[in-house]
Chains A and B, each alone.
Chain A
Amino acid sequence: MQFKSRNFDDAAIAIETDNLTVALPDTAGQPQVLKGIDVTIRQGETVCLVGESGSGKSVTSLAIMGLLPDALKVTDGKINLQGENLLPLSQAQMRELRAARVAMIFQEPMTALNPVLRVGDQITEVMELHTKLPPSERRKRAIAIMEQVHLPDVERIFRSYPHQLSGGQRQRIMIAMALVLEPVLLIADEPTTALDVTTQKQILSLIGELQANHGTAVLFITHDMGVVAEIADTVYVMKHGEIVESGPVEQILRHPQKDYTRALLASVPSLSPRPARPDVSDIVLQVDRLNKIYGGGGILKKLPRAHAAKDVSFTLTRGRTLGIVGESGSGKSTVARCIMRLIDPTSGQIRLDGSDIASLSRNQLRPHRKKLQVVFQDPMRSLNPRWTIARSLTEGPLNYGTSKSEAMAEAARLLNVVGLPEDALHRYPHMFSGGQRQRIAIARAVMMRPDVLVADEAVSALDVSVQAQVLDLLDQLQQELGIAIVFITHDLRVAAQICDDVIVMQRGAVVEHGPAGDVLGSPVHPYTRALIDAAPGRDWDFQNFRKMSEAPNARPA
Chain B
Amino acid sequence: MAQTPPPASAMQPVLRLIRMPNAGLAPKIAAVVLLVIVLATILAPWIAPHDPLAMDPLNRLKGPMPGHPLGTDNYGRDILSRVLIGGRLSLMIGIATAIVSVLLGLIIGMIAGFFRTADAIIMRMMDALMAIPSILLAIALVALNGPSVGSVIAAITIPEIPRVVRLVRAVVLTAREEPYVEAAIALGSSMPKILIQHLVPNTLAPLIVQGTYILASAILTEAILSFLGAGVSTETPTWGNIMAEGRMFFRIKPELILYPGLMLSLCILSINLLGDTARDMLDPRLKKRAG
Among listed A97-105, A120-128, A372-380, A475-483, interface-contacting one:
A372-380
Q: Is the CB of A366 within 8 A of B182?
A: no
Task: Please classify how large the interface on chain A is, using the bins under 10, 10 to 19, 20 to 34, 35 or more.
Answer: 35 or more
Alpha-carbon separation in the docked complex, A386 to B204 (Å): 12
- Closest B residue to A430 by CB, please name it: B5
Given contacts A382-B179, A386-B201, contact A369 B6 (CB under 8 A): no
Contacting residues of chain B (1-60) with chain A, CB-CB under 8 angstroms: 1-3, 5-10
Q: How far is the CB of B191 from chain A (nearest CB, A)?
A: 7
Contact with B along A439-455 (1 / 0, CB 8 A): 00100110010000000
Does chain B have a CB within 8 A of A396? yes
Q: Is the CB of A369 within 8 A of B182?
A: no
Alpha-carbon separation in the docked complex, A138 to B269 (Å): 55
Alpha-carbon separation in the docked complex, A299 to B182 (Å): 27
Q: How far is the CB of A9 from chain B (nearest CB, A)?
A: 37
- Closest B residue to A372 by CB, please name it: B186
Q: Is the CB of A385 within 8 A of B6?
A: yes
Alpha-carbon separation in the docked complex, A38 to B120 (Å): 60
Alpha-carbon separation in the docked complex, A374 to B188 (Å): 12
Does chain A have a CB within 8 A of B198? yes
Contacts of B8 in A (CB 8 A): 385-386, 428, 430
Q: Is the CB of B186 within 8 A of A374?
A: yes
Q: How far is the CB of B199 from chain A (nearest CB, A)?
A: 10
Contacting residues of chain B (55-95) with chain A, CB-CB under 8 angstroms: none
Alpha-carbon separation in the docked complex, A370 to B1 (Å): 36
Does chain A have a CB within 8 A of B189? yes
Given contacts A362-B191, A448-B187, contact A376 B10 (CB under 8 A): no
Q: Is the CB of A374 within 8 A of B189?
A: no
- Closest B residue to A448 by CB, please name it: B187
Contacts of B179 in A (CB 8 A): 376-378, 381-382
Alpha-carbon separation in the docked complex, A42 to B22 (Å): 49
- Closest B residue to A378 by CB, please name it: B179
Q: Is the CB of A400 within 8 A of B178?
A: no
Contact of B180 among A71, A362, A372, A381 (CB under 8 A): A381
Alpha-carbon separation in the docked complex, A438 to B255 (Å): 67
Alpha-carbon separation in the docked complex, A430 to B8 (Å): 9
Q: Is the CB of B187 within 8 A of A396?
A: yes
Contacts of A441 in B (CB 8 A): 183
Does chain B have a CB within 8 A of A280? no
Does chain B have a CB within 8 A of A384? yes
Main secondary structure of the interface of A (DSSP, over half): loop
Q: Is the CB of B7 within 8 A of A385?
A: yes
| Total interface residues in chain B, CB < 8 Å | 26
Does chain A have a CB within 8 A of B286? no
Does chain B have a CB within 8 A of A399? yes
Q: Is the CB of B7 within 8 A of A299?
A: no
Does chain A have a CB within 8 A of B196? no
Q: Is the CB of B189 within 8 A of A395?
A: yes
Q: Is the CB of A373 within 8 A of B186?
A: yes
Does chain A have a CB within 8 A of B132? no
Contacting residues of chain A (298-351) with chain B, CB-CB under 8 angstroms: 299, 340, 342
Contact of B3 among A372, A400, A430 (CB under 8 A): A430
Q: How far is the CB of A107 from chain B (nearest CB, A)?
A: 13
- Closest A residue to B181 by CB, please name it: A384
Alpha-carbon separation in the docked complex, A377 to B186 (Å): 15
Contact of A382 among B7, B9, B180 (CB under 8 A): B180
Contacting residues of chain B (167-219) with chain A, CB-CB under 8 angstroms: 178-180, 182-191, 193, 198, 201
Contacts of B187 in A (CB 8 A): 369, 373, 395-396, 399, 444, 448
Alpha-carbon separation in the docked complex, A431 to B7 (Å): 12
Contacts of A232 in B (CB 8 A): none
Does chain B have a CB within 8 A of A14? no
Contact of A400 among B180, B188, B193 (CB under 8 A): B188
Q: Is the CB of A369 within 8 A of B188?
A: yes
Contacts of B190 in A (CB 8 A): 366, 399
30 A-B pairs with C-beta separation under 8 A: A71-B2, A342-B182, A366-B190, A369-B185, A369-B186, A369-B187, A374-B182, A374-B186, A376-B183, A377-B179, A381-B179, A382-B180, A382-B183, A383-B183, A384-B184, A385-B6, A385-B7, A385-B8, A386-B7, A386-B201, A392-B180, A395-B189, A396-B187, A396-B188, A399-B187, A399-B189, A428-B6, A429-B6, A444-B183, A444-B187
- Interface of B toward A, CB cutoff 8 Å: 1-3, 5-10, 120, 178-180, 182-191, 193, 198, 201
- Interface of A toward B, CB cutoff 8 Å: 53-54, 71, 299, 340, 342, 362, 366, 369-370, 372-374, 376-378, 381-386, 392, 395-396, 399-400, 428-431, 441, 444-445, 448
| List of 8 A-B pairs having minimum Cβ-Cβ separation, nearest first | A396-B187, A385-B6, A376-B179, A382-B179, A369-B188, A430-B5, A399-B188, A384-B180
